[in-house]
A and B are shown apart, each in its own frame.
Chain A
Amino acid sequence: RKEVEQDPGPFNVPEGATVAFNCTYSNSASQSFFWYRQDCRKEPKLLMSVYSSGNEDGRFTAQLNRASQYISLLIRDSKLSDSATYLCVVIQPSGGSYIPTFGRGTSLIVHP
């Protein structure tokens, strides 16, 4: 199975900053893409799906670049509550089906 790579960070930013994360994937036949956030010792929670046209949800913007095989997440006006690990999830083909592959996550620390 091909891998999903993320910079583990941590990204240490002040409140109000803009921060961007990238995630690269190596299987060009990957089908769907998501960003999840995970707080310490908690379950992953869906942040947003990622579409080729790009999508925005409040302060969060996600982009997919199929040609270069990466997805990105931009967080504007960072809040203390944004501190978490951000997980990239790629749905990759496997046999006749698709399975989710997680990146290791990028840690974000937002400080006052």
Chain B
Amino acid sequence: EPEVTQTPSHQVTQMGQEVILRCVPISNHLYFYWYRQILGQKVEFLVSFYNNEISEKSEIFDDQFSVERPDGSNFTLKIRSTKLEDSAMYFCASSELRPGYGDTQYFGPGTRLTVL
């Protein structure tokens, strides 16, 4: 069964450093997403991406965040200058259809980001 993959599984970084989280969505999917989940809290939407541009973003997704699809398979989330409060699990997801049209999103296993 096709699956979303993410690397690394765990990233430890110093406050102020840049991190790039990587995801490989399911190959025939067209819509890509990033979410975060702070320990013990709910999953929060960050951004959706379609046709090489951001289609929607939340208030969490400020100028410190950016996304990119650098080639035909990878989808990345960059945090420019990490803060302690960026420590969380980051999930990538993909779907075949656009949100609100019966889509099902498939999640990757997540990257645990720890900012020291």
Contacts and interface: CB of A to CB of B under 8 A. Distances in A.
B91 A43 contact: yes
Interface string A84-112: 00010001011101111111110000000
B89 A41 contact: yes
B contact residues, range: 20 to 34
A10 interface: no
B56 A44 contact: no
A44 B55 contact: no
A44 B100 contact: no
Interface residues of A, number: 25
A25 interface: no
A98 B99 contact: yes
A44 B91 contact: yes
A103 B102 CA distance: 19
Contacts of B89: 41
A52 B93 CA distance: 25
B55 to A, nearest CB: 6
Interface in A22-57: 31-32, 34, 38, 41-46, 49
A99 B58 contact: yes
A99 B43 CA distance: 13
Given A32-B103, A49-B102, A93-B100, A99 B109 contact: no
Contacts of A43: 91, 107-110
Interface in B96-116: 98-110
A91 B97 CA distance: 13
Interface of A: 31-32, 34, 38, 41-46, 49, 87, 91, 93-95, 97-105
